[in-house]
Structure formats: structure tokens, C-alpha cells
Chains A and B, each alone.
Chain A
């Protein structure tokens, strides 16, 4: 007899969106730690004039890493999605002049919004 595969599409969609957001966050955190010179340019100059760029980059890498783990954990996903969306929106706004590079983040931002909508009232 053929086995029927039950599938909760809500859980699956949520999982795929969480992984889709967590993997870029994880990669960004690790690559920014391994080769900060490739990422420091994304920290706005006015901020680097106030706080050392390396410190800001390290703090942002830590934030990205934390968000990635939070998203993967599946704990309070709605809030993880909100913080991810805020993080991505900030990245897009402060780097809007480099739109040819950060245009992908717009897609990630909408994925975070979609995850938040999916988890709304759950």
C-alpha cells in the first residue's frame, strides 16, 4: 500500500523562510569576522566617525549571528522575524546608495515580513 505523506504546509513554509533568513545572516556574520575589510564599507561613514568601524562591524556580526540562531531555534519566531526585518531595513536604508549590491536584501526583508505575517497570532 502506498504511504500517504502528511504535510503541514504552514510549518514547512515557516521552516523554509527561517532557514532562508538564517543562512545569509550566519554567512554574513562569519564572513564579516573572517574578512572585515570586505564589509567595513557597509558601515556608514558618519557612524565610523563616532564609533570605531571594527567595533561596529563586530557588534553587527554578533547581532546577525544571534538572529540566525534565534530563527533556527523556532522560539518566538514572530519576534525573530520582526527583529530580522528591522535589521534588514536598517541595512537597506543606510546603504541605499549601493543599491546594486544590497538589492538582494530587499528580497530578504520581504521574506522576514512574510515570516512575521505567517506567524501572526500563532
Chain B
């Protein structure tokens, strides 16, 4: 286990929480105003499209829960290494979860490109974070 890679894993998880958390906050807080895109783009075409929910749950909520789970897993890896090595296949679970997150991001990228034919900056950022999390997951245990 490399502590540096655990730290980078946790850093990415917090960045993901900031990204998804911002989208959740903007959607559910009625007086929070519109999304502010660094590209000055209308992200709501994507975030409010019919592809914005999967099984009645909004994508950003799923993303937030995913990043919180990943953060907790990273903290468990660091603070309870013996538990991880002896009782839990946590390393495998993290790799599978990070891989699933990446696949879901790729699916959403495909939806943006070919179905909605528009893009959302924060969704692209989330895909990048998921790619880095997946690569990082091979080095933490």
C-alpha cells in the first residue's frame, strides 16, 4: 500500500464530491441561481434533459453518493489496513467500483455526444476524475 497514492485517491474523491455536490446544490436549492459554467455554456441542456435520472435517481446524486463511498473506502484503507488485508476484499471492491464509475461516465459522455448533442462541463470533469480514480485504484492496495 502506498500512502501517497491513498492521499491522491482521497484528494480525487473530495474533488468529485465538490463537483457532484455543486450540481446537487444548484438543482435542489431553489434560490441558488443557474449553474455557472467556466466555459459560459448552458449546462442545463444536459443536466435537465431526460437523461438526467437513472432509475428515478438524479445522476449527480448517484455521483455524490459514489464519491462519498470512495472517500470512505480510501479512509478505511488508510486507517484500518489490517482489517482490509484480513477480512475484506476492499481492494477488489474499490477497483470494481471505480471501474463501474468510469463506465457510467463513458456512457454519459456517449449520451451527451450522440443523444443530447450538447455537453456539460461538470460532467466532463467528473469523467476525468473517474478515469484518474480508476487508474489510482490499482496503486492503493
Contacts and interface: CB of A to CB of B under 8 A. Distances in A.
Given A3-B117, A3-B118, A30 B38 contact: no
Nearest to B42: A6
A18 to B, nearest CB: 9
A26 B11 contact: yes
Contact of B7 (A14, A16, A31): A31
A15 B41 CA distance: 14
Majority DSSP secondary structure for residues of B touching A: helix
B78 interface: yes
B4 interface: yes
User: Does more than half of chain A's interface fall in helix, strand or loop, or is it mixed?
Assistant: helix
Contacts of B36: 11, 74
Contacts of A30: 7, 10-11, 14
A39 B42 CA distance: 43
B39 A27 contact: no
Nearest to A24: B11
A27 to B, nearest CB: 5
A113 to B, nearest CB: 20
A8 interface: yes
Given A23-B15, A26-B15, A11 B38 contact: yes
Contacts of B3: 31, 34-35, 38
